[in-house]
């Protein structure tokens, strides 16, 4: 019960963040992770609580494999947080 309630609150925050308008010259940061909780979820929760607008890019395993092979991730792993074209991992 409590879990479901928390999930709804976080979804509300996420929706509000997504709907927020951003100045055209401001780059929205991006989180790259899988379509699951794991190491990405604490970042998502922190962003939801702090009201940070970001792109929640959820990669399938095949997508991740292709991007990894192309050198998209500095350490070959996710999560990766991209802000002002700098990749944090
Ligand atoms: N030291 C990194 C490890 C990241 C890591 O192991 N990520 C896993 C997913 S939780 C991953 O990308 N595995 C796929 C791979 O290494 O090919 C961290 O804590 O962020």
Domain ranges in the chain are 2-19+26-88
Mutate which of 77, 87, 89 for ligand 1 pocket (most atoms within 8 A of beta carbon): 77
Distance 38 CA to ligand 1 centre (A): 9
**Is 76 a pocket residue for ligand 1 (Cβ < 6 Å)?**
yes
- 30-48 average pLDDT score: 98
Structure tokens at 47: 């962003």
pLDDT of residue 60: 98
pLDDT reported for residue 17: 46
Q: What is the DSSP string of 20-52?
A: S---TTSPPPEEEEESSSTTTHHHHHHHHHHT-
- From the CB of 80, is ligand 1 less than 6 Å away? no
Residue 33 CA to ligand 1 center (angstroms) comes to 9
Tell me if the domain spanning 2-19+26-88 has CATH number 3.40.30.10.
Answer: yes
77 CB near ligand 1 (under 6 Å): yes
If you average pLDDT over residues 19-43, what whole number do you get?
87
Whether residue 3 is predicted with pLDDT greater than 80 in this model: the reply is no
pTM: 0.78
| Amino acid 11: pLDDT | 46
Q: What is the mean pLDDT of the chain?
A: 84
CA distance 37 to 83: 21
Residue 25: the pLDDT is: 76
């Amino acid at each position: 019960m409590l879990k479901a309630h928390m999930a709804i609150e976080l979804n509300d925050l996420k929706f509000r963040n997504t709907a927020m308008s951003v100045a055209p010259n401001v780059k929205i940061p991006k989180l790259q992770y899988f379509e699951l909780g794991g190491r990405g979820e604490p970042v998502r929760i922190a962003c939801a609580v702090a009201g940070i607008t970001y792109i929640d890019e959820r990669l399938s395993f095949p997508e991740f494999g292709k991007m990894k092979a192309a050198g998209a991730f500095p350490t070959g792993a996710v999560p990766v947080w991209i802000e002002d074209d700098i990749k944090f991992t």
